[in-house]
Amino acid sequence: MNAPAALDRDLRADFPGLVTREGAPWHYLDTAATAQKPRVVIDAMARALGEDYATVHRGVYSRSAEMTLAYEAARQRIAQLIGGAGSEIVFTRGATEAINLVANSWGRANLKPGDRILLSQLEHHSNIVPWQMIAEQTGAVIDVCPLTRDHRIDLDAAEAMLTERHKLVALAHVSNVLGSALDAKRAAALAHKVGAKLLLDGCQAVPHMPVDVAALDCDFYVFSAHKLYGPTGIGALWARGEILADMPPWEGGGAMIDRVTFAKTTYGVPPQRFEAGTPAITEAIAFAAAADYVSEIGLDAMHAAETKLVARLRRELSSMNDVRLFGPADSAGIVSFLIDGIHPHDLGTILDEANVAIRAGHHCAQPLMDHFDIPATARASFGLYSTDADIDALLEGIARTRRIFGRGTSQ
C-alpha cells in the first residue's frame, strides 16, 4: 500500500501552484490547512470533467457505465489507502460532513439522556460542534480529556475518566495545531474496555503517515481529500461494516433509496444509503489519483522527510529566546509558535511580502487557544514538496519582521 521510495526527484516540479504569477518560488507552509495539488490530480479531474464525463449509477449508455466503474474504483482505492474495504467507505463533502453524518445517524440512534461522549482539549471545531449539537438533542453529556505536559492527549487521564456511561470517544489522530500524534491503539483499547466506540479524525494523519484502520482497531475514521493533495469538496468516512449496516440514513433523496412510494420508502444498503443525490464524481476520481500519487512516493518516505524539516525548524526557533513553541518535538509535519510582541497576523502579513505563506490564527481550535491563554499562533506546516529552502525563507522573514518591529535578533 505504501511502497518504499526516496524523495530523490524535484517533487516541487509536480505542483504548478508552488510558483507566483511572476514565476518566483512560493514558499508554501500551510499544507495543514490545504495541500497543493500535483499535476496528475489536476489532469485526472480535467479528464473526468471533459472527455470522460457522464453521470454514474443511472445511465445505460457506455460512457455512464465506464464512469460508474471509475467512481466505484475510486472508492476501492481510498479504502485500500487506509486498509479498509470499499463497502465500508462513504464519500462525503469532507471530514466535517463525515463527523456530522456519524453524529446525526449513529448518534441519534444510540445516544440517550445521561450517556457520555469523550473529546479532548485539542480537537478541531469539526470534532466538537457536531457532538455539542447532538448532545443537546439527545441529552448526552460531553467530557473533555486534558493534555500532557508535552501537549499530547492524556490517555492516562482518559482511562480514569471513562465509564460504562461513555458511548463514544472522538479524538484527533494528529492535532492540526500541535502535530501531536495519538496512541490510537491504546485509545481504542480504552474505549472498547467500557463498551464505547472510537472515532478518529484522520485529516492530519493520512497525509503524513501510513494508516491501517484494522490495526488501529477504531470504529470510525474520517479524513478529507484536499489535505491529501486531492480536490476540495470530498472526503471519506470509514466505518466498520456491521456498524454501517445498523446506521439509519441521515439525508434523503435520490440514489440512497431502494424503493419510494408515498406510503413508505425503503433504503439502499451501505454505503449507498448515506450518499443522497448526485455524488462528487470528478472529485472522487481525483481523490483516487491523489492516493495513487502519495502511495507511489511512499508515505514512510514522506513522513521521514517531513520529520527532518520539523526537527530543523524547531531547533532554529528554540534557539530564539523570544519564541514560544507548542507541541511535542516529534510533531507530524506541523510547527506552531509565538514570537513575543509580534502578533501572528502581523508576522503572516510580512512573510507574505516575501512569498512565504503560513497560517496565523486559532486554527479552528479555540478551546485549545483558551487552554494556552493565547488568541492565536503562527503555524508552519510541511508537505511532501517542502524543502530546507522554505525554512530558510521563513527564518529570513522572521528576522525581517523583527527589524520592522524594532526587536533585534533575539538570539
Alpha-helical runs (H) found in 319-411? 344-352, 366-372, 388-404
Q: At what angle do helices 39-49 and 281-297 cross, to 10 degrees?
A: 150
Tell which residue, 93, 103, 97, has the closest CA to residue 133.
103
Q: How many angstroms separate the CA atoms of 272 and 268, rounded?
A: 6
Tell which residue, 372, 350, 376, has the closest CA to residue 363.
376
- Please report where in the chains the cell 453529556 appears, as a residue: 141
C-alpha cell at 398: 522572521
Question: β-strand 116-120 against 141-145: which pairing, if any?
Answer: parallel
CA distances from residue 352 to 40, 169, 349 in whole angstroms, order as listed: 28, 39, 5
Over its C-alpha atoms, the chain yields an Rg (Å, rounded) of 22
Tell which residue, 193, 181, 164, has the closest CA to residue 120.
181
Q: How many angstroms separate the CA atoms of 73 and 65, rounded?
A: 12
C-alpha cell at 37: 495539488
- Cβ burial 196-212 (10 Å sphere, 16+ → b, else e): bbbbbbbbbbbbbbbbe
Phi and psi for 27 in degrees, rounded to 5? -90, 90
- Please report where in the chains the cell 484536499 appears, as a residue: 226
In sequence order, the 6+-apart residues with CB closer than 8 A to the CB of 345 are: 360, 361, 376
Instruction: Kindly list the catalytic residues.
Output: 364
